[in-house]
Chain A
Amino acid sequence: MIAEAYGPSGHEHIIREVIRDEIKSLADEVRVDALGNLIAHRKAVGATPRKKVMLAAHMDEIGVMVTHIDEKGFLRFASLGGVFANTLVGHRCRFENGIIGAFGQEKKNSSRTETQLDKMFIDIGARDGKNSPINVGDAAGFWREFTDLGDRMIAKTMDDRIGCAVLIETLRQLKKSPHEIFAVFTVQEEVGVRGATTSAFGVQPDVAIAIDVTDTGDTPESNTMAVALGKGPAIKVKDSGMLAHRGVKTALITAAQENKIPYQLEVLTGGSTDAMAMQVSREGVPAGVVSIPTRYVHTPSEMVDFDDAQNAVKLLVAFLGKPIKLD
């Protein structure tokens, strides 16, 4: 199960094998690079390959890393990626060895409403700190089971396992493409798009698309944002790390319109994606993003709409099935 697999930034070896199993029959060649990116290469169909297209979805999830084990066996931790303290209280995390811990917080000198990571700890139910099954430096992801709500789904790590799922499904549904396709399941996005930085250098694409989640503005008293669940995949215009290439953005919009696929335009004021790194790789790469609208991003309960994911696949298949004009 892609959404539930363990894989905090820098610790993607388990989720990588889950995805490798899914894609090995869908690609001509699959390899893992020096940083751990999983790179699936699909050759172009037709006499002259049009473009080398890199598609990136990140495998890693935000999580925590143990910094100290105290005498009583409580674990102090640091964040891996953008973890908000107020989303942790009462939640659980899971280590690579399967051990589950509960997040607790210091009560003395702390407020119930304003939580700080350095006043929190993980309780794995240990009687003391001796022979702890956990070591300093061990990483954990959040732990919640995947839930299907019918039209919508909740998981601890829709960011960006929904992108991984969309990318796998795109490879499955894309029967023929005039383009040479590199589907890259990247590492370490949440700590600074590091996997995309190195894989883009290695792949050296002509066009790059990230598939990632984006925020929405459709919940009670949410920040103003013209993206909602269920209204289709979002084609990125801008976020805080990049301006989407005009040509790529337009080509995506055209593909959606020609195939009557619902879409939304996205302007995200905080956060970015792997496209930020791919865009400035080597001498520059035209880059865009297909985003899956997601509520409660960077919490243990990220929610997406099933149709949005399906339509994202349709959009990518349509985009990749024809020559890409970047005027």
Chain B
Amino acid sequence: MLLEKLSNARGVSGNENEVREILIDAIKDRVTEYRVDTLGNLIALKKAKGARPSTALRTRAPLRVMLAAHMDEVGLLIVHHDSNGHLRFAKVGSIDDRVLLSKVVLIGNDKIPGVIGVKPIHLLKQREREQVIDADSLTIDIGASSKENAQGAVKVGDYATFATEFSKFGDGLVKGKALDDRVGCAVLVEILKRDFPFDLYGVFTVQEEVGARGARVAAHAIAPDVAFVLEGATCDDSPKKKDVSPVTRVGAGPAITVADSSMIADRRLVQLLVATAQEQRIPFQFRVPSVRGGTDAGRIHIARDGIPSAVVSVATRYIHSPVSVLSLREFENVIALMNKALPKLAKGLPDL
């Protein structure tokens, strides 16, 4: 299963090679051409097939549609060797310090195992039990007996990822690391199997977790007429004390973004997605506006002279931690929704 392979692959922002190789392998026989740009984005073009789209959007034909999913994941970067051979690290992307404690990580290309050690409860003072330990004061123990041995095994600048193996569990769910946004990558690979009546640019971006940097240059280079970002959305569907809404719920269908902190989605594209879901009887949910966090669409929609953009996500529990959870059915539904909605773009979008 491609999603499994992608989840297990290691690709912290700035070091997406392993994920990119898997994706190149998965798409190379299905697209017209592909290239890797300067920052490392994998950009695949599938030329239009079938009816020519209307030129209502712009004067240029054929229409260009960009679909983006980011390859990178949050992780750690080794910055220093302590005198006892432990490693200091910096976080890459946003990670809650509390999820780091006592986790196993894999470091560098050689996958050197390490443990983010934590003081046993027996030694904790009352005050310490109530505090969150800063990432700055944590170290990774790679079992080295000296600083020199540690330096031999791991270099400053090596990346570390959580050591999590993907697996299925429960009622059609999967768990694994980096489902944000390997699930989007897997969705995009499926969409690239089809033909569309417009030029489809499938972009697997780099460095989303550190500020959507890959998407920014890819959107500038491609200059699409419309863009969709495929994501693993923040999810918070545990029971609430108050009558307030979860951001998204696992199992409630593809999540459509109206607004997040980086973008207000194009109303016409939101309408297109909602109408398609309703007519195809695909369940859908709105990702609740307001929640912090943005996506590649935040940079894409303001690229050049503006690109109408929208985001469709698979609700994903526990993102930005060593293990996240999503529903395979929802994954399939996002693919189905996109495959049904995209051909309608050939008619062009109505005026704003």
C-alpha gap A70/B243 in the complex (Å)? 6
Looking at chain A's contact residues, the main secondary structure is: mixed
Give the interface segment out of A30-38, A44-52, A156-164, A250-258: A30-38
Contact of B245 among A34, A136, A198 (CB under 8 A): A136
- Is the CB–CB distance between A67 and B289 below 8 Å? yes
Would A32 and B352 be within 8 Å (CB), given that A68-B244, A188-B264, A202-B306 are in contact? yes
- Is the CB–CB distance between B307 and A137 below 8 Å? no
Give the interface segment out of A73-81, A236-244, A311-319: A73-81
Chain A residues with CB under 8 Å of B306's CB are 33-35, 37, 195, 198-199, 201-202
Chain A proximity of B223: nearest CB distance (Å): 11
Q: How many residues from A make CB contacts under 8 Å with B? A: 34
Q: Is A9 an interface residue (CB 8 A)?
A: yes
Chain B residues with CB under 8 Å of A72's CB are 243
C-alpha gap A201/B307 in the complex (Å)? 12
Contact of B259 among A16, A35, A37, A137 (CB under 8 A): A137
Would A79 and B290 be within 8 Å (CB), given that A9-B264, A68-B245, A136-B245 are in contact? yes
- Is the CB–CB distance between A198 and B305 below 8 Å? yes
- Is the CB–CB distance between B308 and A34 below 8 Å? yes
- Is the CB–CB distance between A32 and B351 below 8 Å? yes
Chain B: which residue is nearest A34 at the CB level? Answer: B306
Q: Is A172 an interface residue (CB 8 A)?
A: no
C-alpha gap A72/B307 in the complex (Å)? 39
* Per-residue interface assignment for chain B, residues 267 to 296, with 1 indicating a CB less than 8 Å from any chain A CB and 0 otherwise: 100100000000000000010111100000
* Per-residue interface assignment for chain A, residues 278 to 321, with 1 indicating a CB less than 8 Å from any chain B CB and 0 otherwise: 00000000000000000000000000000000000000000000
Contact of B304 among A76, A77, A201 (CB under 8 A): A201
Chain A: which residue is nearest B307 at the CB level? Answer: A34
Would A199 and B305 be within 8 Å (CB), given that A70-B243, A71-B243, A191-B264 are in contact? yes
Chain A residues with CB under 8 Å of B264's CB are 9-10, 80, 188, 191
Q: Is A65 an interface residue (CB 8 A)?
A: yes
- Is the CB–CB distance between B243 and A137 below 8 Å? no
Chain B proximity of A57: nearest CB distance (Å): 18
C-alpha gap A68/B258 in the complex (Å)? 13
Chain B proximity of A90: nearest CB distance (Å): 22
CB within 8 Å of B: which A119-143 residues: 136-137
CB within 8 Å of B: which A75-120 residues: 76-80
* Per-residue interface assignment for chain A, residues 2 to 38, with 1 indicating a CB less than 8 Å from any chain B CB and 0 otherwise: 0000000111010010000000000000001111110
Chain B proximity of A29: nearest CB distance (Å): 15
Chain B proximity of A112: nearest CB distance (Å): 20
Chain B proximity of A70: nearest CB distance (Å): 4
CB within 8 Å of B: which A177-213 residues: 188, 191, 194-195, 197-199, 201-202
Chain B proximity of A159: nearest CB distance (Å): 18
Chain A proximity of B301: nearest CB distance (Å): 7
CB within 8 Å of A: which B27-82 residues: none
Contact of A194 among B244, B291, B302 (CB under 8 A): B302
Chain B residues with CB under 8 Å of A80's CB are 259, 264
C-alpha gap A33/B303 in the complex (Å)? 13
C-alpha gap A312/B263 in the complex (Å)? 32
C-alpha gap A184/B184 in the complex (Å)? 36
CB within 8 Å of A: which B134-159 residues: none
- Is the CB–CB distance between A68 and B302 below 8 Å? no
- Is the CB–CB distance between B305 and A67 below 8 Å? no
Find the residue from A36, A77, A137 having the highest chain B CB count within 10 A.
A137
Would A65 and B289 be within 8 Å (CB), given that A70-B244, A198-B306 are in contact? yes
C-alpha gap A37/B302 in the complex (Å)? 12
- Is the CB–CB distance between B245 and A67 below 8 Å? yes
CB within 8 Å of A: which B295-352 residues: 301-308, 351-352
- Is the CB–CB distance between B305 and A201 below 8 Å? yes
Chain B proximity of A278: nearest CB distance (Å): 13
Chain A: which residue is nearest B259 at the CB level? Answer: A65
Would A76 and B301 be within 8 Å (CB), given that A34-B306, A136-B288 are in contact? no
Would A67 and B288 be within 8 Å (CB), given that A9-B264, A198-B304, A202-B306 are in contact? yes
Chain A residues with CB under 8 Å of B259's CB are 10, 65, 78, 80, 137
Chain B proximity of A17: nearest CB distance (Å): 10
Can you list 8 A-B pairs, Cβ within 8 angstroms, ordered by A? A10-B267, A13-B267, A71-B243, A136-B258, A137-B286, A197-B302, A198-B305, A199-B305
List 15 other contacts, CB 8 Å, given A34-B306, A137-B270: A11-B267, A32-B352, A33-B305, A34-B308, A35-B302, A65-B259, A70-B244, A77-B290, A78-B259, A136-B288, A137-B259, A198-B302, A201-B304, A202-B304, A202-B305
A residues in contact (CB < 8 Å) with B: 9-11, 13, 16, 32-37, 65-68, 70-72, 76-80, 136-137, 188, 191, 194-195, 197-199, 201-202
B residues in contact (CB < 8 Å) with A: 243-245, 258-259, 263-265, 267, 270, 286, 288-291, 301-308, 351-352
